[in-house]
Chain A
Amino acid sequence: MKKLLANPHLVLLTRVFLGLLFVMSSLEKIVDPAAFAHSIENYRILPSWLPLTVATILPWLELLCGFALLFGIFLRGSALLLSTMLIVFTGAVISGVLRGLDISCGCFTLDPTAEKIGWLKVLQNSTLIVLSLFLYYSNTERFTLLSYLQKSPPADGSQS
């Protein structure tokens, strides 16, 4: 397991996959926060004034975390934030499935005909949770923007 956590290629692959996934899925929600708010509202978990606020902020967090993973800046922080968000989302999906709600997930697309919530969705999200926890515990700084910056000149030896 330690070897896996220190494998720079595997970590890079996971970063690119999760990063792209979150950047792509955030864009549609950023463009149409009202539709995303309705997806959230459909879960009937939050009081009625909250979904729009969540829909205003959450997609930007996803976008930032996505870019952070891609560039390797704030890797741990974004992995932690994504894991936490994914765990909360998955909790919401599970509660929706248990309550028998027939609603669309609103996870990666706002298209109401796609992505109905169900146990498959829970499984998908759980995989994403594992991947982001993997990044959180990963032990390599290779291929991150920071490592490139530190390696690059000025070559006067004064690394800060």
Chain B
Amino acid sequence: MTRLRQATREAILLILVGASLGFLYSAATEKGVFARQAPAGPVGGAGVATPQMISQEEVWSLYQTGSALFIDSRHDFDFRAGHIKGAVNVPLKDFELQKSPLKDVLRDRLLVIYCDGAECNSSIELAVRLAKEGFRNVRISFGGWREWVEAQHPTEKSR
């Protein structure tokens, strides 16, 4: 019992010192929690409605008509490993419109955003960000990449 008590005391001290070092380092280098632009901050907010979710059938019919631009919000390594054919990669991480391939896209262009599947949030967060940037026709694929693969729709890989 004394062993556990002593160990717990030591562990708590280690946690306190570790956390302090972590926060100090983060503040000093502007990495981590004190990064100037937190990559995953809360999204949404006044005046911008969350873009509409659409089902796999709707995604597929938009794909077939070729009217929408498909956007993959996953990390670039996921994108390289396989993505919806013709999609462009706009990872939510470090998203900045001016640096993204969407900077010259017309704001009324129909965009379909997807991430891994129904559980992921990056497509929703990216969609909200794009809506804030003025894109008016943003849709989110609910089933995402996984349903696309299950349905055996066209995919491609890139290096």
* Residues of chain A whose beta carbon lies under 8 Å from any beta carbon of chain B: 30, 32-34, 37-38, 41, 44, 48-49, 51-53, 55-61, 63-65, 68, 74, 76-81, 84, 112-113, 136
Interface of chain B residues 1 through 43 with chain A (CB within 8 A): 3-4, 6-15, 17-19, 21-23, 25-26, 31-33, 35, 38-42
The minimal Cβ–Cβ distance linking B30 to chain A, given in whole angstroms, is: 11
Count of chain A to chain B residue pairs whose CB atoms are closer than 8 Å in the complex: 100
B17 touches A64 (CB 8 A): yes
Q: How many residues of B contact A (CB 8 A)?
A: 36
| Cα of A41 to Cα of B6 in the assembled complex, Å | 34
Asked if B56 is an interface residue, CB under 8 A from chain A, the answer is no
Interface of B, helix, strand, loop or mixed by DSSP: helix
Q: Which residues of B contact A57 (CB under 8 A)?
A: 18-19, 22-23
Bitwise, B110-142 to A at CB < 8 A (1) or not (0) is: 000000000111000100000000000000000
C-alpha gap A148/B75 in the complex (Å) = 50
Q: Besides A60-B21, A64-B18, A79-B7, 6 other CB < 8 A contacts?
A: A55-B32, A56-B33, A57-B19, A77-B13, A77-B14, A80-B7
